[in-house]
């Protein structure tokens, strides 16, 4: 595994002139940047990936389309584009995108990008060998996978929210 250096942020998400190495404990009152990419097709299915059995975190479990930590100098867009390419071989251009939402963890800001894209999974390559398989799933299939212990155990409300984002954001207009 390559050594990663992460930028650190304060509680207001202001970039500090501080870094840390992956694997070390995040210092108190400091945060690092994590991203997740959720690719949804026209049928409303989410592209998910199965992590390799030798991955350090959640080996052999299914996860969102792509995800990982921003490395030193990365913006959230840079990290999302890089992780999607490294894990799936898909080149995204997120230059005009902001994350759709952020989850604030005790030691991280986790930015989620929900992307509407048609991807032919038969033609995907996995450049860094982090991923062993991909497939499209519906919301109900994904919730079932969580219940069976096959998918990383995210909260059901997060899964529901991501699939709701496929319909639209904000208020319901009459």
According to the model, what pLDDT value does residue 3 have? Answer: 87
CA neighbours closer than 13 Å in the CB half-sphere of residue 173: 4
d(CA 149, CA 146): 5
CA neighbours closer than 13 Å in the CB half-sphere of residue 138: 3
According to the model, what pLDDT value does residue 168 have? Answer: 56
According to the model, what pLDDT value does residue 82 have? Answer: 97
According to the model, what pLDDT value does residue 8 have? Answer: 99
Averages of pLDDT over each 10 residues, the chain, 174 residues? 89 98 97 98 96 90 97 98 95 94 97 95 83 96 98 97 74 50
> Tokens 């945060």 sit at which residue?
31
State residue 159 phi and psi, 5-degree precision: -60, -45
Domains and CATH numbers, the chain: 5-165 (3.90.79.10)
d(CA 21, CA 72): 10
- pTM, to two decimals: 0.92
């Amino acid at each position: 595994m390559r050594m990663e250096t992460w930028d650190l942020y304060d509680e207001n998400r202001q970039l500090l002139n501080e870094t840390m190495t992956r694997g070390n404990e995040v210092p108190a009152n400091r945060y690092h940047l994590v991203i997740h990419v959720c690719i949804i097709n026209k049928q409303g299915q989410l592209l998910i990936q199965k992590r390799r059995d030798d991955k350090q975190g959640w080996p052999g479990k299914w996860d969102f389309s792509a995800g990982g930590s921003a490395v030193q100098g990365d913006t959230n867009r840079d990290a999302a584009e890089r992780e999607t390419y490294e894990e799936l071989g898909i080149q995204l251009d997120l230059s005009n995108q902001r994350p759709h939402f952020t989850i604030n963890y005790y030691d991280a800001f986790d930015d989620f990008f929900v992307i509407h894209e048609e991807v032919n999974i038969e033609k995907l390559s996995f450049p860094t060998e982090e991923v062993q398989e991909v497939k499209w799933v519906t919301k109900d299939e994904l919730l079932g996978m969580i219940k069976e212990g096959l998918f990383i155990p995210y909260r059901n409300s997060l899964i529901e929210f991501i699939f709701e984002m496929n319909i639209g954001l904000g208020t319901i207009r009459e």
